[in-house]
């Protein structure tokens, strides 16, 4: 039997290396990795509708379910400061480049007169607390067509008073961009893009959500409309319909008598359809309310509004 020969010089060295390796394994036990900090929570619409906001009146105001009513200006008077959060404009995204998302929503205020100031408010979570980060004015009696967030900016198409418009009746179309600049949230650009025209309504199909301030019953199919050149087509609640449309001047239209199919439906659908088509035939004006389409009808001394969402 042959035995391997180990040099008497190398043997002690090998033993030492083995001892160091064993000791090293004990010293290099894997260290526990720390998880990165979680981003701040994204603000919710419920928080916005109960927020305390500065920049609207002289003092900060606190909303309750999206509404604020201050004390009357005079004892027992009806005139008082009011404000309203436009819940349909709530959006979230990263606006300041830091970890976490911010939220934006538009709101309007009235100081008791005929004016209505419109604002854009920004919200975020800072040091674990929800806060109003900024509130900037957009315009007096401004109408919102559309709002979206893109690359850290808030972009909106609005109808505002042009050089020849009365304050009550804006017709100038503009695109406004808002964002953080040097740590301050503000309007960074505004571009006039034309004049209000009924052809602008053709980009969307519109779904009826309210008649004269009352939401539709939950057990009916809502009417739908779509504007196409000089006609409006859609679903009236039971039957398909079509009608002519003529724009007499920006913001004012005349919708002809609708021609509808003759299919019968359950009474709730038929009642909704009859009311909708009757009021549609009496529409005289169109505008926007918090990004929703408002068709105003008038029949003698009676008037009301058909409100549609996209």
What ranges do the domains of the chain cover? 45-196, 199-309
pLDDT score for 2: 47
Residues of the chain with pLDDT under 70: 1-32, 35
Whole-number Å distance between alpha carbons of 197 and 195: 6
Whole-number Å distance between alpha carbons of 3 and 137: 94
Q: Are 295 and 280 in contact (CB under 8 A)?
A: yes
Whole-number Å distance between alpha carbons of 91 and 104: 5
Give the fold, CATH level 3, of 199-309.
Answer: Lipocalin (2.40.128)
- Cβ-proximal residues to 303 (8 Å cutoff; 6+ apart), any chain: 296, 297
Backbone phi and psi for residue 201, each to the nearest 5 degrees, phi listed first: -75, -15
DSSP bridge partners of 304: 297
Determine the straight-line distance between the first and last CA of the chain, rounded to whole angstroms.
Answer: 94
Whole-number Å distance between alpha carbons of 186 and 2: 90
DSSP bridge partners of 266: none
pLDDT score for 32: 67
DSSP label at residue 199: G
How many other C-beta atoms are found inside a 10 Å radius of the C-beta of residue 92? 17
How many other C-beta atoms are found inside a 10 Å radius of the C-beta of residue 282? 19
Whole-number Å distance between alpha carbons of 1 and 15: 25
CA dihedral 266, 272, 275, 281 (to 10 degrees): -100
CA dihedral 298, 299, 305, 306 (to 10 degrees): -120
DSSP bridge partners of 156: 147, 176
Contacts 24+ apart (CB under 8 A), 112-117: 112/73, 112/79, 112/80, 112/81, 114/168, 115/140, 115/141, 115/167, 116/140, 116/141, 117/56
Residue 3 class from Cβ within 10 Å (0-12 exposed, 13-18 middle, 19+ buried)?
exposed
pLDDT score for 18: 46
Whole-number Å distance between alpha carbons of 178 and 125: 20
């Amino acid at each position: 039997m042959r035995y391997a020969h180990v040099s008497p010089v190398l043997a002690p060295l090998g033993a030492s290396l083995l001892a160091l390796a064993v000791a090293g394994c004990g010293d290099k036990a894997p260290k526990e990795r720390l998880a990165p900090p979680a981003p701040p929570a994204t603000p919710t619409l419920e928080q916005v509708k109960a927020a305390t906001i500065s920049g609207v009146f002289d003092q900060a105001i606190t909303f309750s379910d999206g509404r604020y009513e201050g004390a009357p200006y005079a004892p027992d008077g009806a005139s008082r400061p009011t404000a309203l959060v436009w819940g349909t404009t709530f959006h979230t995204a990263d606006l300041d480049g830091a970890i976490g998302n911010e939220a934006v929503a538009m709101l309007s205020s009235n100081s008791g007169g005929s004016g209505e100031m419109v604002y854009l408010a920004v919200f975020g979570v800072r040091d674990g607390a929800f806060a109003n980060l900024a509130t900037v004015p957009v315009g007096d009696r401004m109408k919102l067509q559309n709002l979206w967030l893109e690359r850290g900016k808030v972009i909106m198409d609005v109808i505002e008073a042009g050089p020849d418009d009365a304050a009550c009746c804006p017709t100038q179309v503009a695109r406004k961009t808002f964002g953080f600049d040097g740590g301050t949230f503000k309007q960074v650009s505004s571009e006039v893009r034309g004049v209000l025209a009924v052809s602008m309504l053709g980009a969307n199909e519109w779904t009826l959500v309210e008649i004269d301030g009352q939401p539709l019953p939950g057990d009916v199919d809502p009417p739908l409309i779509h504007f196409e050149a000089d006609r409006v087509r859609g679903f009236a609640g039971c039957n398909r319909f079509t009608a002519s449309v003529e724009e007499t001047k920006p913001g004012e239209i005349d919708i002809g008598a609708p021609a509808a199919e003759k299919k019968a439906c359950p009474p709730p659908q038929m009642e909704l359809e009859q009311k909708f088509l009757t009021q549609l035939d009496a529409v005289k004006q169109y505008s926007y309310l918090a990004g929703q389409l408002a068709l105003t009808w008038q029949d003698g001394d009676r008037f009301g509004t058909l409100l549609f969402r996209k």
